[in-house]
Amino acid sequence: MEYLKHPHHVELVLVDALEIARLNLEFRNLDKSTDVLSFPLEMPGHTLLGSVVINIDLALQESQARAHSLLDEIALLFTHGYLHLLGYDHERDQGQQRILEQEIIAHFNLPLSLMARTELT
């Protein structure tokens, strides 16, 4: 699992739905809430890779609706955001992020991935 061997730190920030909507508008020009945002930090010589911001309101709602723990939901969201910090982009790549996300999910025995959920709706 090469992606787990990066000697970097990641900041995890839990916010409510209103705050993540504000961040989404400010940084992505999308006027809506979302589940997770990633903010890479590009400073050579620093071990902080960036920040993963999670909508705790939506994480709680999803964990209850899908009958798994809040911690598992946060782990799913963090995994998705972490891969974005590493430079993966499921909207542009050829499935690499999806493959790695599935590998991590299987390794940690987590519930259905975010991308798989999207395909079901």
Residue set of the binding site for Zn(2+): 80, 84, 90
pLDDT tens digits, 42-97: 877 778 899 999 999 999 999 999 999 999 999 999 999 999 998 888 777 777 88
pLDDT tens digits, 6-38: 567 899 999 999 999 999 999 999 999 999 999
16 neighbors 57 (Cβ within 8 angstroms)? yes
d(CA 5, CA 25): 33
Residue set of the binding site: 80, 84, 90
Give the type of residue at 60: L
Give the type of residue at 53: V
Find residue 9's DSSP bridge partners: 48
